Every structure is written in C-alpha cells, then in structure tokens.
Amino acid sequence: MVPISGLDKKSSLQVIHKHGPCSQPHEEKANIPTHAQILLLDEVRVKSIHSKLAKNLGSVNVMKKDAAANLPAKDGSVVGSGNYIVTMGLGTPKKNLRLIFDTGSDITWTQCQPCLRSCYKQQDPIFSPSSSSTYSNVSCSSAACTSLNSVTGNSLGCSSSTCVYGIQYGDSSFSIGFFAKEKLTLTSNVVFDNFLFGCGQNNQGLFGGAAGLLGLGRNKLSLPSQTAIKFKKIFSYCLPSSSSSTGFLKFGNDGLSKSVKFTTLSTISGGESFYGITIIAMSVGGKKLSISASILAAGGAIIDSGTVITRLPPTAYSALRSAFRKQMNQYPMAKPLSILDTCYDFSKYSTVSIPKISLFFEKGVEVPIDARGILYVNSISQVCLAFAGNTNDFDVLIYGNTQQKTLEVVYDGTRRMIGFRTGGCT
C-alpha cells in the first residue's frame, strides 16, 4: 500500500478501490466483476437514482428482474461497482472496518453479530455489539428514530421498543437491523461518541467484501451532519486513478489548498440527500460544444461518488460524441461495451492522442477531466469514451466517479459550495 503523504493526517483516511489489490488480497478472481458487469450494475444504480427523483416507486422490481436476466447467479446483488473504500474504527475496544463511502447515501451501517437473518461474506470480522462497552440501541420514541423515515423512505419500525432501520438500494441489495449509537474513530485522535449508525442483522448484496457503507449525503443522519460541530460539514476526497493506487477522504478544512475552485451547490427536488450542481457548458479539444445551458439544466444535475459513468442529457451526449469521434477519426473503432457506444482499437499504436474534455460550472469554474476519466479501458483493443446518455433530456444529469479521478473534490455543506482541484491525489 502507498502511504498517505502531504496530508493533514489528523482527519485523513486512505481511499482504495473496492476491487483493488490493497482492498482484498485474497479476493477470488471469480468474484471480481467484468467491466461489462460493472457497467450493467452502474446502469441499475442510475435507474434507481432517476426513479427515486421521479418518484417512480414501481421501478425497483423491474430493475431486479433486469439485473437477474443479465448477471450470472451470485450471492445476492451489488450496490454499484465503482465504489471506493475507507477504513475506520467502531466500538470500544475499537474494531477497524472497511466501508464503502457514498455521497448518494445518508445512513452509515455495518453488519452486526449475531446476524439474526443473514450476512454476506466480508473481509473484516463482523462487528459484535456485545463486545463493545460503548454500544447502545436507539429507542423507538427518540427523535433520531423518527428522522429515519426521511432517509430510508420506509415507515418507522420497532422491535421491543428498539428502533429498527431498513434501507434498500437500487440494485435490490439491502440492510435491515437495529438503529444504534456507538463510538466512531476516524483516526487515532479524532473520535466521536454516540454516533448514530445501523447495526445490520439482515444484509444481502455483494458489497465487495466491505463491512458496510459510510453515508456522506446531506441528510441530518449522514456523517458530515453528525460531525458538523467539528468539521462544519466540510469533507473532500481524491479518487485514485487506478485500482492499484490510493487516494484520500479528508474531513474539515485544515490544509485545504488555496487552488480549489468553488461553485455553488444546489438542491434537487425530491433528492435532498444528493449534492446538486449546475453544469453550464462542455468543451472537447478546447472548443465549447453548442449545447444550450437549458438542456444541461433541464433535469437538474448531481455529483455522485457511487455512479461510475457520467450520464448526460441525450442531446448533450450526442454533441459530445460527435465532436469526440471527429477528433479521433484516425483511429479504428471497436464494438460498443455495454452502455458505452464510442470505442476504439488501440492495439497497433504505441501512443495515442485524445482531445481534452472540460466541464464548466457556475462562477466561471472549469474542470478539466483527466485522461483516465475520458477513456474507460476494457482492453487495449476496446477503449471507450467514458460518458453515456440518459434516456431523455429531463432525467437528472449525474457527474460520475470515473470523471472525478485524480481531482480533489471538496464539499462544503455549510456554505453550500463544492470545489475542484486538479492533481488532487498527489
């Protein structure tokens, strides 16, 4: 593993890819999804976000059927596949747990003993509440329990006066268990008592061997909200450029670079947990595309750490694809890869030249996409433009994690700002 360097280690955690070598040294190759499977699962997540924002409650079962028809039978489903993992401590004495972090989710949860119904396989030992001196259940009558409904969309549950949470993700994976309080240790000297989290007794899904999920959304039960007194709802991350390199997740504004460029956060109707953004233009090869800002704003836009491929309004994607293909016409095209329809065969080339792509945000912020965020590599003979179109122009635009690679992305929930800095992982 690469050590964290040049960071304020007081509140920094190392970020690794869920299927990278640092994550699971003993993960069997059979359990690592193919790129086609990753993209299929990404499509399921996107459909889930779109249906949530469109209040289309009947879509989950349909998606479950679609996923079952296209994926080989495995132990349950997965919650996306472009996920990144951090390690933090829970309980007294502290137990280290590897958790997927997700800006599109609010509740933090982990699998808990005795797993009254079922637990999927994880790499860390499953957390045992009975072995911790600081664990306590949340009562049904508490305000914290009442506020669960706004996070999960499920009605209040109780078991012998103990608060019960249940959360289902777009790919039909889920976690159900006791809502509880526990000591959370981010780093050796950053500790929070009475952190509200889900202690999962019934969990299904291939979470890549992770012990659960870390919710970084905007709801009051998310980690940024629960630690707001110390960190003022400020956190930042840099996603590593490959599965074998590392990035970071950092809380607070200590050591924040002055070169971060900030734009305004917006709120998406019906999606208060998501971080809304406003993209006003795009460029390919230094030339802005002729896409009206109204098209880019038609369905609203969010930035999401758990979606792999950026989804654009089809009108905008068509303009991007056309300009990109025009500047790449010297290279032979290859067959499409799942949702990616602009692919190339580079097997006869030692070097290739690709046009730069930039996104433009409000307040004059230009964010250049790293080359590793422009292309998605299945093999040297199938390298694809890493963008896709939504079904229609009124679906929410999603700025995905492939296009965020190597950027430091800064979330400032108190000032309602989001910032970007190139070369963020170094």
Q: How many C-beta atoms lie closer than 10 Å to residue 177's C-beta?
A: 24
> Of residues 42, 102, 370, 393, which has the active-site annotation?
102
Identify which of 179, 181, 176 has the alpha carbon closest to the alpha carbon of residue 116.
176
Residues across the chain = 426
On the 0-12 / 13-18 / 19+ scale of CB atoms within 10 A, 3 is exposed
Dihedral sign computed on CA atoms, order 343, 344, 350, 355: negative
Identify which of 87, 78, 96 has the alpha carbon closest to the alpha carbon of residue 22.
87
Q: How far apart are CA 76 and CA 74, in angstroms?
A: 6
- Asked if 106 is an active-site residue, the reply is no
Q: How many C-beta atoms lie closer than 10 Å to residue 392's C-beta?
A: 12
> Of residues 42, 106, 171, 304, which has the active-site annotation?
304
Q: How far is CA 132 from CA 91, 95, 183, 317, in A?
A: 5, 9, 9, 51
Q: Residue 122 phi/psi, 5° resolution? A: -130, 160
Angle formed by the axes of helices 59-70 and 35-53, nearest 10°: 170
The angle formed by the CA atoms of residues 149, 145 and 221, to the nearest 5 degrees, is 70
- Asked if 75 is an active-site residue, the reply is no
Q: How far apart are CA 345 and CA 382, in angstroms?
A: 5
Instruction: Give DSSP secondary structure letters for 249-316.
Output: EEESSTT--TT-EEEE-EEETTEEEEEE--EEEEEETTEE----HHHHHTT-EEE-SS--SEEE-HHH
User: What stretches of 167-273 show up as alpha helix (H) in DSSP?
Assistant: 223-226, 228-231
For the annotated catalytic residues, the residue numbers are 102, 304
